[in-house]
């Protein structure tokens, strides 16, 4: 099926089977590989993207649901030369180690700060509980989100 959607601010057109996962369409058809697959069943959050300003697991979204949608992936957040404050905070505070959960974690952090611009530790822990990280024990991720919240205030 033919679908028009907005990806990171740009209008794009794709042709894909209706049940193809948004995750696969992004990675295979649209050439943005920053969004990762960790489990394929909505448990780990590595594939988190924003869809119409709502955090979704892109492994659970069939592309048929994305007609006209506004999708934001990690590629739309900031560049190496111009990091988003969240990315800068993760860099400075050690919020990324192996990096595989990082794009999804940043998306979840973005959603968290949008809903609650000044979260405390417990609110951050709850807000990011759908995104698994095996490297950090989450401490440095919490530090990163707090730092970004300060900067974005």
Partner 1 sequence: MTIDEKDSPASAIGKPVLRKEGPRKLTGQAKYVDDLDFKGLYGTTVRSTIPRGKIKAIHFDEGIPWQEFTIVTAKDIPGKNYVALILHDQPYLADGVVNHPEEPILLIAHSDKYLLERARQAVKIEYEKLPPVFDMQESLKAETVIWGKNNIFKSYLLEKGDIESVWSKADFIFEDEYSTGAQEQLYIENNGMMAIANPNEGVTVWGSMQCPYYIHKALVPLFGLSEDKVRIIQTETGGGFGGKEEYPSILAGHAALLAWKSGKAVKIIYDRAEDMVATTKRHPSRTRHKTAVSKDGRILGMDIQFLIDGGAYATLSSVVLSRGTIHAVGPYHVENVRIDAKAVATNCPPHGAFRGFGAPQSIFALERHLDQIAKKLNIAPEELRKRNFIKEGEKTSTGQTIHEGVSMDALLDRALAQTHYYEKRQQFAKNNDHRKIKKGIGFASFMHGSGFTGSGEKHLASKVGLRATAQGRVEILAASTEIGQGTNTILSQIAAETLNVSPDFIEISQPDTKHVPNSGPTVASRTTMVVGKLVQSAAIGLRQTLQQEGYLKNKYSEEELRQACASYIAAQGELQILVEYQAPPGIHWNDETYQGDAYGTYAWAVYVAEVSVDTTTWETKLDHFLALQEVGRVIHPLLAAGQIEGGVAQGIGFTLYEKVKWKEGRMSNGSMTNYIMPTSSDLPEIEVIFEEVPYKYGPFGAKGIGELPMDGPAPAILNAVAMATGREIKSIPMLPEDLMRASL
Give the relative orientation of helices 85-93 and 102-115 as an angle to the nearest 10 degrees: 120
Shortest approach of partner 1 to residue 55 CB, angstroms? 15
String of contacts with partner 1 for each residue 107-126, x by CB under 8 A:
--------------x--xxx
Q: Is residue 85 part of the contact set for partner 1 (CB under 8 A)?
A: no
By CB under 8 A, residue 49 contacts partner 1: no
* Positions in 6-45 near partner 1 (CB under 8 A): 27, 32-41, 43-44
What SS3 class is residue 111? helix
List the beta bridge partners of residue 7: 10, 71
Distance between CA 42 and CA 60 in Å, rounded? 6
Give how far Cα 43 sits from Cα of 68, 77, 147, Å: 26, 23, 27
User: What does the alpha-carbon distance between residue 125 and residue 16 come to, in Å, rounded to a whole number?
Assistant: 37
In whole angstroms, how close is the CB of 5 to partner 1 at the nearest point? 18
Does position 106 bind partner 1 by CB under 8 A? yes
| 77 near partner 1 (CB under 8 A) | yes
Using CB under 8 A as the binding rule, whether residue 134 contacts partner 1 is answered as: yes
Query: Is 58 among the residues that bind partner 1 (CB under 8 A)?
Result: no
**Residue ranges of the alpha helices (H) in the chain?**
22-24, 85-93, 102-115, 121-127, 139-152
Nearest residue (CB) to partner 1, 49 versus 61: 49
Site residues, partner 1 (CB under 8 A): 27, 32-41, 43-44, 46, 73-75, 77-80, 83, 87, 90-94, 96-103, 106, 121, 124-126, 128-142
């Amino acid at each position: 099926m033919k679908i028009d959607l907005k990806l990171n601010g740009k209008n794009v057109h794709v042709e894909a089977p209706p049940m193809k996962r948004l995750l696969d369409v992004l990675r295979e058809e649209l050439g943005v590989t920053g969004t990762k697959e960790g489990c394929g069943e909505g448990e780990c959050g590595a594939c988190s993207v924003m869809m119409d300003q709502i955090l979704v697991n892109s492994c659970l979204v069939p592309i048929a649901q994305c007609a006209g949608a506004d999708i934001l992936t990690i590629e739309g957040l900031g560049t190496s030369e111009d990091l988003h404050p969240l990315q800068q905070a993760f860099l400075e505070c050690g919020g990324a180690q192996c990096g595989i959960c990082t794009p999804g974690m940043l998306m979840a952090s973005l959603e968290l700060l949008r809903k609650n611009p000044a979260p405390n530790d417990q609110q951050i822990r709850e807000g990011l509980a759908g995104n698994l990280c095996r490297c950090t024990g989450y401490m440095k991720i919490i530090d990163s989100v707090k730092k970004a919240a300060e900067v974005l205030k």
